[in-house]
Amino acid sequence: MREHPLLKRLREETASHPRASMQVPPEEGQFLQLLVKMTGARRTIEIGVFTGYSSLSVALALPEDGRIVACDISDEFTSVARWYWAEAGGRFPGCADRVGSGRHVRFRFHRRR
């Protein structure tokens, strides 16, 4: 399995978190990347970010003009994700994170075609 070094660092950091079981395994992150590439996705939404492993996985597979909207109700968890998104630099230009219910964001995201 190939895992981006940034994803590996995030996974290792999250492993010590009391809720580490909420993180997706690296195989699932790689599967999400495969789906993004096979479908040619350019816009994605993630509801439930935790520390950001799956959203970072998806972002790394998106094309340069890709966009991901990541929503979570916990600012504590998304603060870890934001740090890793910033570390990804130019590979995460279309990231928008929202703290709160994903219900309103899904509607607005869908209407923006």
Of 112, 108, 110, the residue nearest 100 (C-alpha): 108
The boundaries of the domain holding residue 66 are 5-16+24-111
Among 76-80, 83-87, 102-106, where is mean pLDDT lowest? Answer: 102-106
Radius of gyration of the chain measured on its C-alpha atoms:
13
What percentage of the chain carries pLDDT values higher than 90?
Answer: 27
Per-residue pLDDT of 2-45, as tens digits, reads: 899 999 999 998 888 888 888 888 999 999 999 999 999 998 88
How does residue 70 score in pLDDT terms, banded at 50, 70 and 90? confident
Say what the pTM is.
0.80
**Could you tell me which residues come within 8 angstroms of residue 58 by beta carbon, excluding any fewer than 6 positions away?**
32, 33, 36, 44, 46, 68
- Supply the CATH number for residue 70's domain: 3.40.50.150
- C-alpha span between 79 and 14 (Å, rounded): 12
- C-alpha span between 35 and 112 (Å, rounded): 22
What is the domain count for the chain?
A: 1
